Chain A
Amino acid sequence: MSAGLDAFVAAGPGPLPVVLRTLLAVARRPRGRALLDRAPRIQAAVHAALSLGRYDDPAVSRALGWDADAIVARGRALRRAEGRP
């Protein structure tokens, strides 16, 4: 799991981080995936979390035209140049 996704999961309320980590582990196994197919709403939540992590990978998102580092660098330059907070 990427550091970003790990932080996201850990920030969840109450017992959710433990539940979500377990489900993510289940979803990585073929039999687990088959099991989740029977619970569409849970499957959708797990899939959303996995997708959030996968497409946050800089190499993946850059290939899709999105470069977070460039956005941040532009922001830093603008804040410095214009004295923004």
Chain B
Amino acid sequence: MSLSVSSSRTLEADVCVIGAGAGGAVVAAELAEGGARVVVLEQGPAHDPGTFTARPPEMLARLYRDGGQTTTVGTPPILLPLGRGAGGTTLVNSGTCFRTPPAVLDRWREDFGLDLDEAGLAPLFDRVERALSVAEVTPELAGANAAIARRGAERLGWSHGYLRRNARGCVGSGVCVFGCPTSAKQHTGITYLPRAAAAGARVVTGADVRHIDVRGGRARAVHAHLEGGGRLEVRAPTVVVCAGTIHTPLLLARNGLGGASGQLGRNLALHPATAAFGRMDEVVDMARGVPQSFYVDEFAAQGIMFEGVAGPPGYAAMSLPLVGEPHRAAMADYRRLAQFGLMVSDASRGRVRSLAGRPVIQYGLVEADVAKFRLGLARLEELFLAAGAREVLLPLPPGVRPEHARARDLKLMAFHPLGTARAAARATDGVVDGDLAVHGVEGVCVADGSVVPSALGVNPQLTIMALATRLAFRLLERRTDFRPPTAPPPEEETACRS
């Protein structure tokens, strides 16, 4: 699928797409199938699933940017793992699929003047979900870890359900975030990107974009350095930047684009998250089944969502909030450990800047979000105890109870960076307009998490893909020589195998 470019050369295209993740692969496929000549430049490699080992340290090193060790600067520091390569973070996420909550769309209309509503987006979500074989996880496939959370939620009378995921023929290998060894997870690297290539798009991996050439107020070309040592110029009147929420603002800033509003690189939301363990009497074998298969949304209105999380012993050992002998004892009991996660829809906002060419991610947790963690951890403990846990291991320092936790006590990770090139109708409020075109320049658009104007409270991949689909359609509508996007994507078998 990847075009091999071994020496310096120039390509001509209608659209150059930078990045092949949740936004880039989707926009490339829809444009190419609509008749546009597309070149995709992806910085990372195209990973061969035949080489996946299901072993966390090795796969973290290979599939993640910076080995999954990207960390924010602030209180507390937050680990922010990002995927790298064809598929981007969809290659290493848990596959959870939510549509944008209608209340969030209402807020975007009010605060940012965006013409987005549930009915208008529904056909786009339908299209994306068909392409990704999105279906609800079955209880059998979800495994014992999910069954424990379900038991707790039922006993407490809390709202809950099985998650919808982009998986096809899943057998519950338990290592979604370390590279699916069965290729069941329908990430964009094995769904949209091959469709783009089949429709004639040229996909270049190992292409590090250095410069977006804008002259006379409009895009002309993109220049990249190739992994093999050559240079590539893509001459295209339209450039779609899809480098992700952390790197898109840096690329735009380096090229003097999108900075007029003062919002570029700002407004970073992360959905900070943490997880607790329960020590159960029953055998759980948490990595048997779909790690993220169940949710509890009882406290969603308060910005708190519980979602499943689990993994093999190496992963669990790394996450356990214990050291020394207590850690050894808990790991000796690994088969009876259950784990569940807590994600916060954050009011905190961070900023991405460049220091010596590398991103520096500043993000401090505001008191309102610390309060959500206090409440969330107390409720998570309640959930485990209701499910029959004989001990709950909370991610807090020894002796600190949830109600007394301070920001610096929290052990957090985040998986959903959003907002650093946010969309807003007015040029003073955002980096891109409602059609995702960069304000003040012709032919440069953005389609990744950076345009999402606020925290969603749910996993964002479908929102990013629906917005990317919408952008592709808008671009196609403007060109009379492109085919209209009437054909639905290929019908896929939905449903996970249980």
Contacts and interface: CB of A to CB of B under 8 A. Distances in A.
A78 interface: yes
Contact of A56 (B55, B171, B320): B55
B490 interface: no
Contacts of A40: 397
B440 interface: no
A14 B355 CA distance: 11
Interface string A54-78: 1110001100111010011011101
Q: Identify the interface centre among B52, B61, B70, B173: most chain A CB within 10 Å of its CB.
A: B61
B73 interface: no
A11 B334 contact: no
Contacts of A85: 49, 183, 190, 194
Contacts of A56: 55-58, 313-314
Given A60-B313, A71-B173, A85-B183, A10 B318 contact: no
Interface stretch (B174-182, B195-203, B215-223, B382-390): B174-182
A48 B321 CA distance: 9
Contacts, number: 139
Contacts of B70: 13
A52 B312 contact: no
Given A51-B318, A64-B313, A85-B190, A75 B182 contact: yes
A69 to B, nearest CB: 8
A66 B287 contact: yes
Contacts of B319: 48
A18 B169 CA distance: 42
Given A4-B55, A55-B314, A78-B182, A71 B174 contact: yes
Contact of A51 (B190, B194, B317): B317
Chain A interface residue number, banded? 35 or more
B312 A61 contact: yes
Contacts of B397: 40
Contacts of A82: 169
Q: Identify the interface centre among A4, A10, A68: most chain B CB within 10 Å of its CB.
A: A68
A56 B57 CA distance: 7
A25 interface: no
Contacts of B190: 85
A52 B56 contact: yes
A35 to B, nearest CB: 14
A47 B327 contact: yes
A84 B182 contact: yes
B287 to A, nearest CB: 6
B173 A74 contact: yes
A75 B183 contact: yes
Contacts of A49: 318
B120 interface: no
Given A11-B64, A13-B69, A75-B173, A4 B49 contact: no
A7 interface: yes
Nearest to B411: A44
Interface string B259-284: 00000000000000000000000000
Contacts of B182: 74-75, 78-79, 84
Contact of A52 (B194, B318, B358): B318
Contacts of A2: 57
A71 B54 CA distance: 7
Nearest to A57: B314
Contacts of A65: 285, 334-335
Interface string A1-40: 0111101111111101000000000000000000000001
Contacts of B56: 4, 52, 56
B61 A68 contact: no
Contact of A11 (B60, B313, B358): B60
Q: Identify the interface centre among B66, B67, B175, B180: most chain A CB within 10 Å of its CB.
A: B67
A4 B397 CA distance: 29
Contacts of A72: 52-54, 181
Contact of B314 (A14, A47, A61, A74): A61
Contact of A66 (B171, B183, B313): B313
Nearest to B333: A64
Nearest to A61: B313
B173 A48 contact: no
Interface of A: 2-5, 7-14, 16, 40-41, 43-44, 47-49, 51-56, 60-61, 64-66, 68, 71-72, 74-76, 78-79, 82, 84-85
The 6 closest A-B pairs by CB, nearest first: A11-B67, A75-B181, A51-B317, A4-B57, A13-B66, A56-B314
Given A16-B69, A78-B171, A82-B169, 12 more contacts: A7-B62, A12-B69, A13-B67, A43-B323, A44-B411, A55-B312, A55-B313, A61-B313, A64-B331, A75-B180, A79-B50, A85-B49
28 contacts: A2-B57, A7-B58, A9-B67, A11-B66, A44-B411, A51-B314, A53-B57, A54-B317, A56-B55, A56-B56, A56-B57, A56-B58, A56-B314, A61-B312, A61-B314, A65-B285, A65-B335, A66-B312, A71-B175, A71-B181, A74-B171, A75-B49, A75-B180, A76-B181, A78-B182, A79-B50, A84-B49, A85-B194
